[in-house]
Amino acid sequence: MPGPLLNVRNLIKHFPLPRSPVDLVRRRAPERVHAVDGVSFALDRGRTLGLVGESGCGKSTLGRCVLRLYRPDAGEMWYEDVDLARLDERGLLPYRKRMQVVLQDPYSSLDPRQTVGSALLEVLAVHAIGTPQDRPERVAQLLAQVGLRPHDARKYPGEFSGGQRQRIGIARALAVGPELLIADEPVSALDVSIQAQILALMLDLRRSLGLTMIFISHDLRVVRYLSDEVAVMYLGKIVEHAPAADLFARPRHPYTLALLAAIPEVGDDPKPAVEIRGEPTSAVHLPGGCRFHPRCPWKVDRCLTEAPELRELAEGHRVACHEARA
């Protein structure tokens, strides 16, 4: 059995903030947003990792680091036996084909004056996939794969609804035949009935193409639907990472419990009894000790000074909390 497809070790990505004139004069170092601040996880081939957390927790930054749209400040990202973090643009080229991304708003990444068909042809040509003769056939296949019709290739992005545009976004990602698909809030902008259609499509494609996926979302309900395992992020760190069934059946980090309790569920489920107050602390001035302690209902003295490491409390179930129990 080969190792994981992706193995991320202690990944760090900070963004410096612009300095005020006073800071410039005093030569103070710029303040930093600790977007991703020491994240480690491994993802096996064919599995889907759901990455959840609220705005500003670093989940999108993490995704962009893996895609090497950002260069991480420190840490390793092993893709099989190559550390993506160390590669230059040239070295990354083959991985641009093996990894693809689906974004929340595909419209912003589609050229409004280019037909969908020609956009897809361009992707195939750039990556030298197939011959010019059989590329149109491949485009038709791609469109069919995402539930669009062949003649949709002649239309412009503006002629499609939001849900259809997301199908185009998916087709474009699939065009190069990627192994790893990173989907960043792919259904967040869609109406619920359309969202369900796209989720069903992604589930279907993942099975039929054997994709490995990182599915980034703020919505635990959506993540639940697609993920084999789930990592919950808070202020730049993973606070809990477990097989999906386990995480939802027995969440162990107080933040995960609170997230679950806050979900407006349609069903009649009894809610777990953790309620958190206040808002996340800023990712610039992080609290000492555990980052969650200012909002945590379980906090003890130790949490104020000592940052908890991820500990394995059950098989494959890692939790970063001093008070969490197996």
Contacts with other proteins, residue ranges (CB under 8 A): 54-55, 161, 163-164, 191-197, 199-200, 218-222, 224-225, 245, 248, 258-269, 275-280
List of residues 6+ apart from 59 with CB closer than 8 A: 51, 52, 53, 216, 218, 233
Smallest gap, in angstroms, from Cβ of residue 203 to other proteins? 9
Tell me the closest approach of the beta carbon of residue 89 to other proteins, in angstroms. 35
Which residue type sits at 266?
V
User: Nearer Cβ to other proteins, position 11 or 259?
Assistant: 259
Instruction: Kindly state the smallest distance separating residue 161's Cβ from other proteins, in Å.
Output: 5
Which residue's CB is nearer to other proteins, number 179 or number 228?
228
Minimum CB separation from other proteins for residue 78, in Å? 31
Contact yes or no for 308/240 (Cβ under 8 A)? no
- CA-based nearest residue to 31, from 42, 40, 20: 20
**Region of 128 on the Ramachandran plot (φ > 0 left; ψ -120 to 50 alpha; else beta):** left
Q: Select 277 or 325, whichever has its Cβ closest to other proteins.
A: 277
Cα separation, 236 vs 219, whole angstroms: 17
Question: Which residue number, 93 or 203, has a Cβ lying nearer to other proteins?
Answer: 203
Nearer to other proteins, 58 or 178 (CB): 58
Q: Which residue has the tokens 């991703």?
A: 36
Report the C-alpha gap between 233 and 218 in whole angstroms.
Answer: 10
Residue closest to 119 by CA, chosen among 83, 69, 157: 157
> Please, which residue, 120 or 258, has the CB nearer to other proteins?
258
In the bound complex, what is the minimum distance in angstroms from residue 11's beta carbon to other proteins?
23
In degrees, rounded to 5, the angle at the alpha carbon of residue 94 between the alpha carbons of residues 11 and 38 is 5
Q: Give the shortest CB-88-to-other proteins separation in angstroms.
A: 37
User: Which of residues 98 and 218 has its CB atom nearest to other proteins in the complex?
Assistant: 218
Distance between CA atoms of residues 123 and 282, nearest Å: 40
**Rounded to whole angstroms, what are the CA distances from 51 to 21, 96, 129, 186, 213?**
38, 21, 31, 13, 10
User: Residue 272 Cβ, how far from other proteins at the closest point, in Å?
Assistant: 11
